[in-house]
Chain A
Amino acid sequence: MELTQHTSHAYNHELEVVRTHVLQMGGLVEEQLSNAVKALLEQDSELGAEVARNDYKVNKLEVAIDEECARIIARRQPTAVDLRLILTIIKSITDLERIGDEAEKIGRYAAEASESLDTNLTLALRHLCEHVKVMLRDTLDAFARVDDARAMQVAETDLQIDREFEAIYRQLITLMMEDPRNIKQSLSVVWCARALERIGDHCCNICEYVVYLVNGKDVRHTSREEVKAVLANNTTKKLPQS
């Protein structure tokens, strides 16, 4: 799918610019997440505080991109793939902003944490962090490449993340039962793990928007089989076999 090639070069340019800004926002959110995770695992409270401080940058980009989209709708009345692109962007940046908020939460916890974590727990957390980082990167990649099949593959990795979150949750319960002095720290860790798990969900949403962008089919709240049917029917857009 070519998103440019309009007769109006100005329109091409506007769409290109807004897309670039979404990718910039994605890059920024990725960096925020990466720093938050580093701060959490390495007990770098300075870095954690910096992540919390920088969240405003993500918010500012969200507002700016929303404004650009409103302007394009008002001036260009986008249709078909252009309309779907704008809708996808408006929805995706909401999820990106939330991912930014989750990173901020993790950063804030890392800034305040003083005790070092249990070794097993660190290992499990590190795993989860890595998975979530990869998922976010792949999500942004699928968006940048406008690749619906890739997007659905990425969305499926969310199941793995949910499982890892549950494993950490169980580990924390055990820790708390062993010694009530662990409760304070464990609760904080569970919030961080929960934030990571939520980031997976937001990535999943963005992947679903990418499928909508390419196929025009809304696959939210549908079964995996239905999604697969959509992809199978619609990948060789646009002309049916004669």
Chain B
Amino acid sequence: MSTITSLNPMLDAMSRAESRDEFSAAITHTVGNPLLDDPKYKTRSVNVFYAGGKQAIFDVDLDIGRNEVIAMIGPSGCGKSTYLRCLNRMNDTIPDAKVTGELLLDGADIYSKELDPVLLRARVGMVFQKPNPFPKSIYDNVAYGPRLHGLAKNRAELDEIVEESLKKAGLFKEVKDRLNSPGTGLSGGQQQRLCIARTIAVSPEVILMDEPTSALDPIATATIEELIEELRQSFTICIVTHSMQQAARISQRTAYFHLGKLVEVNDTNTLFTNPEHQLTENYITGRFG
């Protein structure tokens, strides 16, 4: 079998690289279509440094479109979660973490001093890998955000928000008779949907999901994926996932991260049938870990 030898400086530099740093340095730019017209999020030259000056992500330029599901994939430690956490300033909570670059949500800088991160996180909700309901009733879990932000004038309005959110999260039918029982008593899949209901209760514009189904069984996963497809009508969704099949199933665009660099962004159909970058191809076909 022949090996197609590239006449390409980037690939040559990669094959010569002997250390992780050299290899990373050889990834010079993002291929595919990272930029969009009129994006929801516009991020340019995003760098993230952790304690001790260790750089987690390097010069990421990426646009996230309105009402699209964008999936971030890549090996462990490639920076995809770090990037996701920049989008609602979750990295602020990590001591010594520094984010540089331009991150615009609807054209407004989300790292500006005037912007209240709490309000930002109401606009940009987040769902984590492990379902983390508050140790409160199902009702209170969902009502927590709307109460905090004063979204409901009275009890009736609050009831409506809770019901609506639970319905959108596909959980209402299952829990409508026990809204006052603790959220922690639900099954894993139900808890995760409860967390999604809690997230959408404050009417965010964007939902960030960090491996939302990795702790769930296939049926619960399918329910959440179905939900993501429905939520896309009203929200922009960024999802970090280790399951490439999941990325292929639910996203419109896929971004591949490697060693802190954004290697390729393409529409999902292209990326999974004919990726542009050799590294993307190696990863999605299981040619390295």
Contact = CB atoms under 8 A, between A and B. Distances in A.
Contacts of A241: 8-9
A233 to B, nearest CB: 11
Contacts of B286: 6-8, 11
A121 to B, nearest CB: 41
Contacts of A239: 6, 8, 10-11, 31, 276-278
Interface residues of A, number: 33
Contacts of A2: 1, 3
B245 interface: yes
Contacts of A8: 286
Interface residues of B, number: 31
Contacts of B49: none
Nearest to A241: B8
A68 interface: no
B216 interface: no
Nearest to A85: B285
Contact of B276 (A1, A144, A146, A238): A238
A238 B285 contact: no
Residue among A8, A11, A81, A83 having the largest count of chain B Cβ atoms under 10 Å: A81
Contacts of A81: 281, 285
Given A5-B287, A80-B284, A238 B275 contact: yes
Given A242-B10, A242-B28, A79 B285 contact: yes
B187 interface: no
Contact of A242 (B2, B9, B275): B9
B222 to A, nearest CB: 16
Given A237-B4, A237-B6, A78 B285 contact: yes
25 contacts: A1-B4, A2-B1, A3-B1, A4-B1, A5-B287, A7-B289, A8-B286, A80-B274, A80-B281, A80-B285, A83-B273, A84-B273, A145-B1, A147-B2, A214-B4, A216-B274, A237-B4, A238-B6, A238-B281, A239-B11, A239-B31, A239-B276, A240-B276, A242-B10, A242-B28
